[in-house]
Structure 1
């Protein structure tokens, strides 16, 4: 079963098209852990009349931590050699989270598991270890308390109740959006806004999987009384069911919730009946499966960092790359299993003795942990790893620069709940940009292009200016945020109706909906704003590279030369073509449209760097402040902001 679980995960992560749901292998591991750990604890209690928590935790630490520490340190070494500073610092943070068994909380606080950013997080897979280790922390205490004070039958009752509650939590967060009531838009509580991610990452939502495995300890003796033919049919059917789920589930499927329940039930059936099944002996207990299952933990640890670093060095995977990676995974997984995992897995006889030697032996893992933590913290302060000509500021640094330089003032008559970025220059004229982050990323360029004007950005993250009109509503994970976005946009128009100052409004676009739908709303906005006495224009969205070019270039030169980077760091041509078609369509349908793509792509191919070769985008779709200054100045030089220019060029045929 371990072999099935780990190979399913590996093949899914290798992007094997016929196994998109292989990620359910993690859930198989959870069921196995619930079965094995509960059985271990009950046998100890039956034999000794008690459970030694210290012995249990010591065994778990020896079983899991040495191989994990070694994997993390080698992963950090790989990141040191090939990652940009921003990605390397994120890797160090995730390493510390893995060391202390809170990876699931760390990644939950960031983006979803299936986000494209997962491809640059080499320790993302350790989230499942965090869930397992948190389970190991609470489960023995629960079992011991129930056995000691209420008896063996109470354990069954507790398992059933906890499993039902855990599954109910999935329903509350995924089907009924209860996370909305727990969350706010900022801080750690904002993670609850995405009920699916909350259920995916946090241990209480997975208890029903561990619980089903644990219940098997009590049920299996009776189930093993089944006839071999019955056991064969059930085992084959359960295996077929697992294969079907692995082939049919995708990153868009509801998970964990009821799909994970199916995985857990089928896994439990295989465990329950395999002891009497001849099919199970043939398929699951042959030497190859036993070997893979034996190294499954080490194999799981090494597989994802290898995939991430291969992609970082050579790009997307082809069939040859898949073969090479599979060989590398098994070689390194076997080596980690033999040299590290098995060496620490069993407590040596001398450890039972007293004295300095035993103390050192028992403390070796904790000493290694301390040294590892110190090493990671020191690496955060190393300078000069990336050559000067490749250095790029991180996303966080760019945002801080934007805020400090261009959003530090208050304008009279511009309420801060609407205008979250303001730059007061004492002028009677104000330039307003209205939209989501694709409005805010222009603030440096607009500020430098209009030095004699006040600047105000009506910005809310993810909130496009078209949301709330003509049936278009931008959906957020939280209904609260969805409503807040709609109300913010309506509040902006109410403000515009009542404000009598000299204002020009640029409506930004983030290519989130069809041009036919967006253009109708844009035209409505322009008409209304003009009726209110303001000049209004629709500012086209810049064509995005589709990849993080800045981070791709901003890497050390230990392994990657400049020529390798030029060959490797290319924009997504298909995405760029699609964006260009979108912009041309929107330009043809929109009133007072400023077609920025006509400047960005004027030379026959869209440009993503300035005239010095510096990448102008800070991530996959946002301009850096320097990039915004460069491109807005290009627009200004071309006359884009002159009266009549937008109308004359609204067909984008320059």
Structure 2
């Protein structure tokens, strides 16, 4: 990266760029600045919740095409002027352009979180910020977004850095590919001797570059189309499925050096008008028609991408700025917003997300308007005081000095993040020592309650007295991710995995089979302890979002697609189950998240209708299961809350009373349908409600342990404490 690559047979005087494209390469493209404004304004509209502009997220795709075009234009222009490409200068330009403003935003966001948020959010954000500073935010967000147990958590205040990561990962590779193409072109020219004319020699590197970017673009597009339908979240953040969008811009930058192509466009005012207005219409159409249910990127991204390419192509001639679309894009306000677009993109997201995390609710329209206005103010200040001076200032122009930005900025963000994390640890235990809640802290309990139920009662009373949160909480407030339910040895998230794994006591003389979804997974630590003590081999035939009922559910997202993978898994699981000859079968399942499909294949989302369909679906499933086992038990699904226990406890100044919750009535009604079906079939029902709630109140902390990971899943730490009570309810007493 520190070497300049020279092409021996390409002289500076024989430019790769032909005359028709030389002018646009040198002049300031007002239409491109206006296009940047279009991109950021659409993104702002979508993120601010403008419903009729829900597809405004395609503004990111507009940015990708613009970036691919401008950066490649710089590379090709340098090749034409000097006969070489300097990787050192290229990465130095990127450092001056990107790092100062991005680093300042990351550091400011972490500091703001330390002031406004609780220890849990600060600790997570600190990790996110380090990933973002290393241009790997898209990898971090893809991992988080594809984790079922993190899907309902609030988005990270630095999540938007994923797109910057995609760009920088592309530009880590593309200049290196360009250098290889140039070297190959020069060697081929040298091998053929001096018989080739200068014009032909100058065109050869351009053809190699075009071929390389076409291959990259086609490969990335194919991956995007193939992987988006089944891996939507991972595809959305992946540089492999997004590279083709930058590749379209890069290919366009090479194509506009073709004198013949540009002469045709330059000579037809009608063609230029059609390109620019049609391109803008394509972008606007995507913004208006697409929404969060649109599988993206995939082939849907072609509409805004090709629309952007058309606008850029129309303006790449000397007369390109005379079109109606170009004149509209080049008006002073649009150019100004285009100038600020990078800083505006950096600031808008944390200003919209941080207040929602603090308030634990969606912002109102006036609040969103205030956040957007604040983003414009900060963007202007950031552009004037940070972005422009670092990009253009003489002090920072030396290449070697600019390259030091990379390690310096990562170190700076890491230092701020580490400081934030340490402060979060301090905040989590600050104040006078508060012991764990004990049964003796409450008046004498009902003698019919066991020790754990009595502790729940004492915890409710402590919360009603607004007692301080125990100092030695399990887990600590900066370790809330460890609350996540335990996974089994066979994780059936991947639909290609179809193995049977033995948990519990592999040498046990009895067999237990567990059916369910993630609400069976959260019982894994409990059931494994029981199995080991009572000699059970355990097979967890569980899959996230897969309801244990004879009915097709949706995927739990807004597109209302049938979850056919669940139907397939249930068929496979039941086939295995009949061979296991189970002594005990346990069913623990959450109700459908969004809706189900009736016998006619129509989606049903009404709660009452869902319940009416679920009753026979549960009944049929339990009846089929009960035929192939010694005993079947349904664990009544645990209470669900409308708030996140860990996030509530992490709020600045929170006490136990602030996080005393009650069951969600609609969810309890749906759970009762399971119980009614079990009673109809004659299946035993185990109700563990008294180990989570008492007298209509449910504490976030029982003793010193947080009970829930989120609104509906039991925590990994609390689950083992229920092993003895659940074993008693299952009637397993002989080996205790």
Same fold (TM over 0.5): yes
1:129-528 matches, within 5 Å, as 129-148=164-183, 149=185, 150-174=204-228, 194-217=230-253, 218-219=255-256, 221-222=262-263, 224-228=265-269, 230-274=271-315, 275-314=320-359, 315-346=361-392, 348=394, 351-352=397-398, 363=404, 366-377=407-418, 379-381=420-422, 383-387=425-429, 389=469, 393=475, 394-398=479-483, 418=500, 421-422=503-504, 433-443=514-524, 453=534, 458-459=539-540, 462=543, 472=552, 486-495=571-580, 497=581, 499=582, 503-512=583-592, 514-515=610-611, 519-520=615-616, 522-524=618-620, 526-527=622-623
Question: 1:459 aligns to what SS in structure 2?
Answer: strand
The Cα of 1:28 is off from its aligned counterpart by 0.2
1:363 deviation in Å? 3.5
How much has 1:484 moved relative to structure 2? Answer: 6.0
| Residue deviations 1:443-482 (CA, integer Å, cap 9, x gap) | 5666899997456653255257866x85758979999998
Does the residue aligned with 2:302 lie in a helix, a strand or coil?
A: helix
Q: Deviations over 1:329-384 (max 9, x none)?
A: 111122222222112112516855xxxxx976764663343243344346545532
How many Å separate the matches in 1 of 2:93 and 2:140?
25
Deviation at 1:311, TM superposition (A): 0.3
C-alpha distance in structure 1 between counterparts of 2:584 and 2:179, whole Å: 70
Q: Does 1:65 align with 2:99?
A: yes
Query: 1: CA distance between counterparts of 2:402 and 2:275?
Result: 46
Cα-to-partner distance string for 1:99-133 (whole Å, 9 max, x where unaligned): 22122222222315998547331111111111101
Q: CA deviation at 1:260?
A: 0.8
Count of paired positions: 592
1:578 aligns with 2:658: no
TM-score of the pair, normalised by structure 2: 0.70
- Say which SS state the counterpart of residue 124 (structure 1) adopts: coil
- List gaps (5 residues or longer) in structure 2: 1-34, 186-203, 431-468, 490-497, 557-561, 597-609
Q: Is the 8 A contact 1:431 1:454 kept in 2?
A: no
Pick the aligned partner of 1:25 from 59, 62, 74: 59
Deviates more, 1:582-591 or 1:311-320: 582-591
Partners in 1 of 2:146 and 2:510 — Cα distance? 42
1:150-179 alpha-carbon deviations (Å, 9 max, x no partner)? 43233333333332222222233246xxxx
SS in 2 for 1:20: helix
**2:645 and 2:706 in contact (8 A); partners too:** yes
**Preserved contact between residue 609 and residue 627 of structure 1 (Cα < 8 Å):** no
Out of 83, 89, 96, the residue aligned to residue 49 of structure 1 is 83
The Cα offsets for residues 567-601 of structure 1, whole Å up to 9 and x where unpaired, read as: xx79799xx34323322333333433638498699
**In 1, distance between residues paired with 2:68 and 2:426?**
47
1:234 is displaced (CA, Å) by 3.8
Q: 1:260 to 1:343 in 2, by over 3 A?
A: same
Do the aligned residues in 1 keep the contact of 2:688 with 2:726 (CA within 8 Å)?
no
Determine if contact 1:95/1:123 at 8 Å carries over to the other structure.
yes
Higher mean alpha-carbon deviation, 69-78 vs 81-90, is at 81-90
Structure 1 residue runs without a partner (length 5+): 176-193, 353-357, 408-415, 644-654
Number of the residue aligned with 1:588: 676
Which residue is 2:559 aligned to?
Answer: none
**Partner of residue 633, structure 2:** 537
CA RMSD, 1 decimal: 4.2
CA separation in 2, counterparts of 1:527 and 1:540?
17
Secondary structure at the aligned position of 1:122 is classed as coil
Partner of residue 5 from structure 1, selected from 39, 44, 47: 39
**Partner of 1:505: helix, strand, or coil?**
strand
The 3 A distance-change label for structure 1 pair 508 and 520 is same
Q: Compute the displacement of 1:280 (Å).
A: 2.6
Which secondary structure does the structure 2 equivalent of 1:594 belong to?
strand
Q: Deviations over 1:532-578 (max 9, x none)?
A: 562212222223224423223223x2xx5559x93xx79799xx343
Residue of structure 2 aligned with 1:550, choices 646, 649, 660: 646
CA contact (8 A) 1:30 1:209 kept: yes
1:602–1:268 Cα change, 3 Å: same
- Paired residue secondary structure (1:624): coil
State whether residues 82 and 312 of structure 1, in contact with CA within 8 Å, keep that contact through their aligned partners in structure 2. Answer: no
Distance 1:635 1:488, change over 3 A: closer
Query: Given the superposition, is the C-alpha separation of residues 552 and 60 from structure 1 closer, same or farther in structure 2, using an over 3 Å criterion?
Result: same
SS of 1:384's equivalent in the other structure is helix
Tell me, yes or no, if the aligned pair for 2:550 and 2:618 is still in contact at 8 Å: no
Shift of residue 611, structure 1, vs aligned partner: 6.9
Change beyond 3 A, Cα 1:117–1:439: closer
- Indicate the SS of the match to 2:427: coil
Gap change, CA 1:147 and 1:612, over 3 Å in 2: closer
After superposition, the Cα gap between the structure-2 partners of 1:58 and 1:23, relative to the gap in structure 1 and judged at 3 Å, is same
Contact 1:449 1:629 in 2 (8 A): no
Q: Is the 8 A contact 1:440 1:457 kept in 2?
A: no
Q: How does 1:588-627 map to 2 (within 5 A)?
A: 588-590=676-678, 591=681, 592=683, 594=685, 596=687, 607=698, 609=700, 616-625=707-716
The structure with the larger Rg is 2
Q: Secondary structure at the match of 1:51?
A: strand
Distance in 2, Cα, partners of 1:494 & 1:451: 22
Cα shift at 1:18:
1.1
Give the 3 Å change call, closer, same or farther, for CA 151–533 of structure 1 in structure 2.
Answer: closer
Distance (whole Å) between structure 2 residues aligned to residue 13 and residue 427 of structure 1:
54
For 1:642 and 1:336, locate their aligned partners in 2 and report how far apart those are by CA, in whole Å: 66
Between 621-630 and 607-616, report the one with greater CA deviation: 607-616
CA contact (8 A) 2:586 2:633 kept: yes
Task: Check conservation: 2:143, 2:234, Cα contact below 8 A.
Answer: no
